[in-house]
């Protein structure tokens, strides 16, 4: 099938590559010429395991192309995926300007029946707005009501985890498709069924529903996962107070099959492109409709405060005034296997350390370039602080001369370091672990002063032995 993807960001690029991989003829459009140049030169503007190899195969096979030519993109695809950004507005609602601009272009250049698929995460009612915009453009061309230039707007939300997006797309646990109950909707259903047929050969994974329910489903899914994270983070702070071990608690409740283990890890808060934005947008949708999602607003509040928990532990151990102190920071991306710095906990933690006068030696195996760009913007009005932020090439380089180690992202390479080397490099053997990578008892036996999230702290004497 001929498919157009509008937007070559995280969702659009993965969607386009995977659809091309299974044999479709895919045209990827972006208004950013820099991105298109990178892609046409064989590069990839985002880090996602398996994506570069897939793009190399599909480019070589001639099944995927990249361009800034809007007219050619619209004319190419019988199915038009809108996969552009929906950044949060000041009130937390999703900014739909890019979605509606894409819709306007489809109406402006449509050359036949189009299935217009909202792949971007959009609030309930967006499909209706897209429909109106397309109708306006067709009317301006004198084509309103034309069977040849008919269209259907479909909601097909993505459920991709950054760092595992290719596998998630190729082996989906569900495919949600929202359709109108009319003749155009029937045509769209047949086309979408044909497009996704390769993913349903073993068993049917597609869930058909009305458009508004499909739009709602995406927000509801992310809100539930964010709730589980904030729930455990809230409990971890109580565990710190009462002397419980949140890791034991996690195993105790996760073994209940009604609960399970997924997204039940305590840490220093969630980030990324989805959870923060989608929680805020769903809460704002509720307010606009006269409702208050009290649980969801608490989820957001807990996550905001959780990003300060590790800083509070550092201040309690080393004092409010951190001038003359140097901290090694391992992990900058909001999660492993991505270079995404959006709402990353590292940004808040590093800013707080610098604000108190500390120096930071930061390392991330993938996100260094993006972190340098983002933190330069964060600290644009604080040049003195920026001078004390250094990005290192290796995790060992980050340790050299540091007073303590702060772990923010749970990259695999951080899980089994050489603790003897770590102790010898640090001025004081102290670890502040925002992802609970190590066992407190093991750390104390090694003479490391270890502070985790919701886990017991074992006091050491001046000689580095257990008190």
Segment 247-256, tens digit of pLDDT: 999 999 999 9
Residue 182 binned pLDDT confidence (cut-offs 50, 70, 90): very high
Binding site as annotated, residues for substrate: 159-162, 218, 263-267, 271, 335
Question: How many angstroms separate the CA atoms of 36 and 8, rounded?
Answer: 8
pLDDT of residue 463: 62
pLDDT of the residue at 334: 96
The C-alpha atoms of residue 372 and residue 387 are separated, in whole angstroms, by: 12
pLDDT tier for residue 201 given thresholds of 50, 70 and 90: confident
What span, in angstroms and rounded, lies between the C-alpha atoms of 39 and 43?
5
Which range has the worst mean pLDDT, 39-48, 82-91, 97-106, 426-435? 82-91
Higher-scoring residue by pLDDT: 460, 396: 396
Query: Which one, of 124, 104, 274, lies nearest residue 210 by Cα?
Result: 124
Catalytically annotated residue among 18, 28, 268, 274: 274
Could you tell me the residue ranges of all domains in the chain? 2-209, 307-451
pLDDT tens digits for range 427-462: 999 999 999 999 999 999 999 999 999 999 988 765
- Superfamily of domain covering 307-451: NAD(P)-binding Rossmann-like Domain (3.40.50.720)
Is residue 64 within 8 A of residue 16, CB to CB? The reply is yes
- Look up residue 199 and give its DSSP letter: G
Q: Give me the phi and psi of 119, to 5 degrees please.
A: -95, -25
> Tell me: the pLDDT tens digits for 111-126?
999 999 999 999 999 9
What is the chain's alpha carbon radius of gyration, rounded to the nearest angstrom? 25
Three-state secondary structure call for residue 371: helix
pLDDT tens track for 4-40: 999 999 999 999 999 999 999 999 999 999 999 999 9
Residue 420 pLDDT > 60, yes or no? yes
- Check residue 203 and give its pLDDT: 85
CATH of 2-209, one of 3.40.1260.10, 3.30.70.1230, 3.30.450.40, 3.40.50.720: 3.40.50.720
Please determine, for residue 467, whether its predicted confidence score (pLDDT) is greater than 60.
no
Whether residue 373 is predicted with pLDDT greater than 80 in this model: the reply is: yes
How many Cβ atoms are within 10 Å of 403's Cβ, its own excluded? 18
In Å, how far from its chain's centre is CA 458? 34
Q: Rounded mean pLDDT of 335-363? A: 97
What's residue 91's pLDDT?
81
At residue 273, the pLDDT reads: 84
- For the question of residue 274 being annotated catalytic, the response is yes
Average pLDDT, the chain: 95
Residue 461 has what pLDDT? 60
Residue 190, pLDDT above cutoff 90: yes
Same CATH fold assignment for domains 2-209 and 307-451: yes
Cα distance between residue 347 and residue 46, in whole Å: 19
- Give the pLDDT band of residue 465 (cuts 50, 70, 90): low
E strands present in 346-440: 359-363, 389-391, 404-407, 430-433
Q: What is the mean pLDDT of residues 211-233?
A: 96
Q: What average pLDDT score do residues 40-69 get?
A: 96
pLDDT band at 466 (very low <50, low <70, confident <90, very high): low
- The DSSP 8-state label assigned to residue 360 in this structure reads E
Are the C-beta atoms of 2 and 78 separated by less than 8 Å? Answer: yes
Q: Among 116, 114, 112, 110, which residue's Cα sits nearest to residue 140?
A: 110
Mind listing the pLDDT tens digit for each residue in 293-322?
Answer: 999 999 999 999 999 999 999 999 999 999
pLDDT, tens digit, 9 for 90 and up, residues 259-296: 999 999 999 999 998 899 999 999 999 999 999 999 99
Region for residue 269 given its phi and psi (left: phi exceeds 0; alpha: psi -120 to 50; beta: otherwise): left
Looking at the predicted structure, is the pLDDT value of residue 387 above 90?
yes
Report the binding-site residues for NAD(+): 30, 35, 86, 121, 162, 277, 342
With beta carbons less than 8 A apart as the criterion, state whether 365 and 408 touch. no
């Amino acid at each position: 099938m001929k498919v157009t993807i509008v937007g070559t960001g995280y969702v659009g690029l993965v969607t386009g590559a995977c659809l091309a991989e299974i044999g479709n003829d895919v045209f990827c459009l972006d208004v950013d010429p820099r991105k298109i140049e990178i892609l046409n030169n064989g590069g990839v503007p985002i880090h996602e395991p398996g994506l570069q190899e897939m793009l190399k195969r599909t480019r070589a096979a001639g099944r995927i192309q990249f361009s800034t030519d809007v007219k050619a993109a619209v004319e190419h695809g019988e199915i038009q995926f809108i996969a552009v950004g929906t950044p949060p507005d000041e009130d937390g609602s999703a900014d739909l300007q890019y979605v509606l601009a894409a819709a306007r272009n489809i109406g402006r250049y449509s050359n036949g029946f189009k299935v217009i698929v909202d792949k971007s995460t959009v609030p309930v009612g967006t499909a209706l707005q897209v429909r109106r915009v397309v109708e306006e453009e067709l009317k301006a061309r004198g084509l309103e009501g034309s069977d040849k230039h008919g269209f259907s707007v479909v909601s097909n939300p993505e459920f991709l985890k950054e760092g595992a997006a290719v596998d998630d797309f190729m082996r989906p646990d569900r495919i949600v498709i929202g359709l109108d109950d009319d003749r155009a909707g029937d045509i769209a259903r047949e086309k979408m069924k044909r497009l996704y047929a390769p993913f349903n050969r073993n068993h049917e994974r597609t869930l058909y529903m009305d458009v508004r329910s499909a739009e709602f489903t995406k927000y509801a899914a992310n809100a539930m996962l964010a709730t589980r994270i904030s729930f455990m983070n809230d409990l971890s702070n109580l565990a710190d107070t009462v002397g419980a071990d949140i890791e034991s608690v996690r195993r105790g409740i996760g073994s209940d099959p009604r609960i399970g283990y997924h997204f039940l890890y305590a840490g220093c808060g969630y980030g990324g492109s989805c959870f923060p934005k989608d929680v805020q947008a769903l809460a704002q949708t509720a307010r606009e409709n006269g409702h208050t999602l009290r649980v969801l607003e608490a989820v957001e509040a807990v996550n905001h405060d959780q990003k300060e928990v590790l800083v509070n532990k550092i201040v309690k151990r080393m004092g409010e005034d951190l001038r003359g102190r140097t901290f090694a920071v391992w992990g900058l991306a909001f999660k492993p296997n991505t270079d995404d710095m959006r709402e990353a906990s590292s940004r808040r933690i590093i800013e707080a350390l610098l604000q108190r006068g500390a120096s930071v030696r930061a390392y991330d195996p993938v996100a260094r370039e993006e972190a340098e760009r983002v933190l330069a913007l964060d600290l644009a009005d604080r040049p003195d602080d920026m001078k004390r932020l250094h990005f290192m090439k290796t995790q060992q380089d980050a340790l050299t001369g540091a007073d303590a180690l702060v772990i923010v992202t749970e990259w695999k390479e951080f899980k089994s370091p050489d603790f003897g080397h770590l102790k010898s490099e640090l001025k004081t053997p102290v670890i502040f672990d925002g992802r609970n990578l190590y066992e407190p008892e093991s750390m104390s036996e090694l003479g490391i002063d270890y502070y985790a999230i919701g886990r017991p702290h074992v006091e050491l004497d001046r000689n580095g032995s257990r008190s």
